């Protein structure tokens, strides 16, 4: 339960609304117990009018408002018929008032819970964004989404309905029991005896239901994942003609789900009969004992009726004890899961007074080593490199040699295990993260574009949508302008799930345009031309000097661009620099670079001969 204390700040924030809500609950329940009292009065009145009626021995006690009503109605000397009519209208009126108050009770408390839900989602969303790459590597997107949606809804079931029912049941039970005790302590105790049993039964049934629903929930999530994978992998399934196998798989999952859902329905079926049984027993006791008493004292006839109404009024709150308790339990479990993430601190943070000036200048990797925290893979091993401001550097190396890791360390997605990285004599740890990342454009290996227009995707890194000419210029430099014009709505074409499907190469070039338009001080192309043909690739690299004249550029690739005069070429092998120098020096070196170059020449030769 202590996990739920994280919600106190929200209850405090909405305290006025909450307090007024509580007042509505209390007053609505007060009007709930007005009706049985007046009914009891009316029944007694009728009883008195019957021929041969015994006079009442005791005078029934009512609460103040009802007493006042009875006295007033009797003092004005109305006919019997009128008294009955006015009493019935008063019962109706109190029901209407109760209804109105209940409406406001929901308006305040349930609306409060919606506000809390919204605030909580915002808090989680903001927090998720601050967490670093490592967090996202160890937690699946599904899990993150689930916590933000499912768990938050469960917590809302606590801040809204559970809290409301809890206050409601406490006050309604309180009002009923006080009124009953006031009238007949002995009868009250007898009548209420089966109710705790009812509460316990319902609590137990509820626990079973909860366990089963959890199971069903996870089976459902499996089923959804199963279906989702089928649809996203439909081409693979079709090409391998595996439809039947997939159907079998789905059927097996569905079968399991059905079995559990049927089991749940069976347990739920016990719910209402057990409630009806207990209520029946209480009613029976009332009528039996009350009946015996009524033989002595005719005012007890009204009491029997009044008690039966109380029992019916109590049915709902008593049965709500069980599910309110389980709602609170579930909310506590969910809040625990939320707290787990909310209390996770990002590893990569700003120092106390970070540098916020524009970052530019020489980049120095000073003897850095890096081991991935959760796998223990050492991606960089005592790596040193210095790049001068404005240099264009080519970084080559086999897959897995550590090239992407190097780029990610530069952006502080991770911090090096050993050594430091400097930009313009400043350790990047001292530079404000936002400033650092604003000044570096990182074009990632696996492109991600948003389901939005081409223009909005390209101007993503800017504060507002860029001017048309700038967007077009960036697209021209990344050699994708002509293709964009070919789309049905040009730059306003939607891409991604809701729009056109782009080829791998088009996606890569749009992501390059997105990086260029930022006019960063440093740009890193991480193997982002792999799906582009050699000619276009050369064209883009050729544009570098024009677009990024003063800027530093690191081009990570598996292909050699002999036509472009790189200031420095680095060959990375197992996280270490194995070759470094200009094209000529590396060719003379006769290592990996020279080998790759020769290989590429033969490939090119073959391509041309094929033409
Ligand atoms: P490259 O970009 O040169 O292909 P990477 O920098 O991506 O190489 O990877 C270097 C090494 O680090 C590889 O052995 C790879 O398996 C490992 N690696 C890369 N990314 C991660 C990660 N997120 N978690 C754990 N290990 C990783
Ligand atoms: Mg890579």
Residue 607 has pLDDT above 70, yes or no: no
Residue 610 has pLDDT above 90, yes or no: no
pLDDT at residue 413, rounded to an integer: 93
What percentage of the chain has pLDDT greater than the value 90? 45
User: How many CA within 13 A on the CB side of residue 160?
Assistant: 18
CA of 444 to the centre of ligand 2 (A): 8
> Each residue of 6-59: pLDDT tens digit?
999 999 999 999 999 999 999 999 999 999 999 988 988 888 888 777 666 677
- Looking at the DSSP bridge assignments, the partners of residue 397 are 572
Q: Averaged over 139-163, what is the pLDDT?
A: 89
* Spatial separation of the C-alpha atoms in residues 495 and 497, rounded to whole Å: 7
Protein residue closest via CA to atom 13 of ligand 1: 400
Backbone angles phi, psi at 354, to 5 degrees: -75, 160
Q: Averaged over 583-605, what is the pLDDT?
A: 84
Contact 316, 236 (CB under 8 A): no
DSSP string, 10-44: HHHHTHHHHHHHHHHHHHHHHHHTHHHHHHHHHHH
> Each residue of 310-353: pLDDT tens digit?
988 988 888 788 778 888 988 998 899 899 999 999 988 999 99
> Each residue of 252-291: pLDDT tens digit?
989 998 999 898 888 888 877 877 888 888 889 888 988 8
Contact 270, 205 (CB under 8 A): yes
What percentage of the chain has pLDDT greater than the value 70? 97
Q: Averaged over 285-313, what is the pLDDT?
A: 86
pLDDT at residue 606, rounded to an integer: 55
CA of 512 to the centre of ligand 2 (A): 16
For the domain bounded by 2-342, which CATH number is listed? 1.20.1560.10
pLDDT at residue 300, rounded to an integer: 80
Question: Is 599 near ligand 1, meaning CB less than 6 Å away?
Answer: no
Would you mind telling me the total number of residues written for the chain in this entry?
Answer: 611
* Spatial separation of the C-alpha atoms in residues 28 and 101, rounded to whole Å: 5
Q: Which ligand is nearest to the CA of 395?
A: 1
Give the mean pLDDT of the chain. Answer: 88
Which atom of ligand 1 sits closest to the CA of residue 401? 3
Backbone angles phi, psi at 182, to 5 degrees: -60, -30
Say which residue, 599 or 217, is predicted with more confidence.
599
Tokens of 396: 């080559």
Q: Averaged over 289-295, what is the pLDDT?
A: 86
pLDDT at residue 605, rounded to an integer: 61
Protein residue closest via CA to atom 6 of ligand 1: 402
Say which CATH class 359-438+561-611 falls into: alpha beta
Which atom of ligand 1 sits closest to the CA of residue 402? 6
Protein residue closest via CA to atom 16 of ligand 1: 400
> Each residue of 167-220: pLDDT tens digit?
999 999 999 999 999 888 988 998 888 878 877 887 888 888 888 888 887 788
- The reply to whether domains 2-342 and 359-438+561-611 share a CATH topology is no
pLDDT at residue 383, rounded to an integer: 93
CA of 526 to the centre of ligand 2 (A): 7
Smallest CA-to-CA distance from 561 within 535, 579, 523, 585 is with 535
pLDDT at residue 366, rounded to an integer: 94
Q: Averaged over 144-154, what is the pLDDT?
A: 88
Burial of 296 (0-12, 13-18, 19+ CB in 10 A): exposed
Q: Averaged over 63-89, what is the pLDDT?
A: 88
CA of 372 to the centre of ligand 1 (A): 8
Question: Is 377 near ligand 1, meaning CB less than 6 Å away?
Answer: yes
> Each residue of 431-476: pLDDT tens digit?
999 999 999 999 988 889 999 999 999 999 887 777 888 899 999 9
Residue 379 has pLDDT above 50, yes or no: yes
| Confidence bin at 498 (pLDDT 50/70/90) | low
Q: In the chain, where are the structural domains located?
A: 2-342, 359-438+561-611
Residue 396 has pLDDT above 80, yes or no: yes
* Spatial separation of the C-alpha atoms in residues 72 and 86, rounded to whole Å: 11
Q: Averaged over 504-530, what is the pLDDT?
A: 90
pLDDT at residue 609, rounded to an integer: 39
| Site to substitute for ligand 1 among 370, 373, 400, most atoms within 8 A of C-beta | 400
């Amino acid at each position: 339960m202590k996990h739920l204390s994280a919600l106190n700040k929200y209850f405090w924030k909405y305290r006025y609304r909450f307090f007024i809500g509580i007042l509505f609950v209390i007053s609505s329940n007060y009007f709930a117990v007005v009706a049985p009292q007046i009914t009891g009065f009316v029944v007694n009145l009728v009883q008195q009018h019957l021929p041969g009626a015994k006079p009442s021995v005791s005078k029934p006690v009512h609460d103040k408002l009802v007493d006042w009503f009875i006295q007033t109605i009797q003092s004005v000397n109305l006919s019997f018929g009128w008294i009955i009519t006015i009493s019935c209208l008063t019962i109706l009126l109190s029901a209407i008032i109760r209804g109105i108050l209940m409406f406001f009770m929901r308006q305040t408390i349930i609306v409060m819970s919606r506000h809390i839900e919204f605030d909580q989602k915002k808090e989680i969303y903001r927090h998720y964004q601050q967490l670093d790459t490592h967090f996202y590597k160890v937690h699946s997107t599904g899990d993150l989404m689930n916590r933000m949606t499912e768990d938050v809804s469960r917590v809302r079931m606590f801040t809204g309905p559970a809290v409301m029912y809890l206050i409601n049941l406490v006050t309604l039970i309180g009002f009923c029991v006080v009124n009953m005790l006031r009238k007949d302590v002995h009868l009250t105790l007898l009548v209420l005896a089966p109710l705790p049993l009812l509460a316990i039964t319902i609590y137990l049934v509820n626990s079973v239901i909860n366990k089963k629903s959890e199971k069903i929930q996870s089976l459902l999530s499996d089923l959804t994942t199963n279906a989702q994978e089928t649809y996203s992998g439909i081409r693979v399934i079709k090409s391998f003609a595996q439809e039947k196998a997939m159907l079998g798989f789905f059927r097996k999952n569905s079968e399991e789900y059905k079995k559990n859902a049927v089991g749940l329905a069976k347990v739920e079926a016990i719910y209402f009969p057990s409630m009806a049984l207990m209520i029946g027993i209480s009613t029976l006791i009332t009528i039996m004992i009350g009946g015996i008493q009524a033989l002595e004292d005719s005012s007890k006839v009204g009491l029997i009726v009044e008690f039966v109404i109380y029992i019916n009024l109590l049915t709902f709150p008593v049965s709500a004890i069980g599910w309110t308790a389980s709602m609170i339990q579930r909310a506590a479990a969910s809040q625990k899961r939320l707290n787990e993430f909310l209390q996770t601190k990002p590893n990569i943070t700003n120092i106390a007074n970070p540098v916020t000036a524009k970052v530019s200048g020489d980049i120095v990797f000073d003897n850095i080593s890096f081991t991935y925290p959760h796998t223990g893979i050492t991606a960089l091993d005592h790596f040193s490199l210095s790049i001068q401001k404005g240099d264009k550097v080519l970084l080559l190396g086999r897959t897995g040699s550590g090239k992407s890791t190097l780029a990610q360390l530069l952006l502080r997605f991770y911090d090096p295990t050993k050594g430091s990285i400097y930009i313009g004599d400043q350790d990047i740890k001292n530079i404000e993260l936002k400033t650092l990342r604003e000044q570096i454009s990182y074009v990632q290996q696996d492109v991600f574009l948003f389901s939005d227009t081409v223009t909005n995707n390209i101007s993503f890194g800017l504060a507002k949508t860029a001017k048309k000419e700038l967007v077009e210029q960036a697209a021209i430099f990344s050699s994708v302008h002509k293709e964009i014009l070919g789309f049905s709505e040009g730059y306003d074409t939607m891409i991604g799930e809701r729009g056109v499907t782009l080829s791998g190469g088009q996606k890569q070039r749009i992501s390059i345009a997105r990086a260029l338009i930022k006019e960063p001080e440093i740009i890193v192309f991480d193997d982002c031309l792999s799906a582009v043909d050699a000619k276009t690739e050369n064209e883009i690299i050729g544009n570098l000097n024009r677009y990024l004249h003063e800027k530093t550029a690191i081009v990570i690739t598996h292909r050699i661009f002999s036509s472009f005069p790189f200031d420095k070429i680095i060959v990375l092998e197992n996280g270490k620099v194995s070759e470094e120098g200009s094209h000529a020096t590396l060719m003379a070196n006769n290592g990996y670079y020279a080998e790759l170059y020769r290989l590429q020449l033969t490939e090119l030769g073959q391509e041309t001969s094929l033409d």
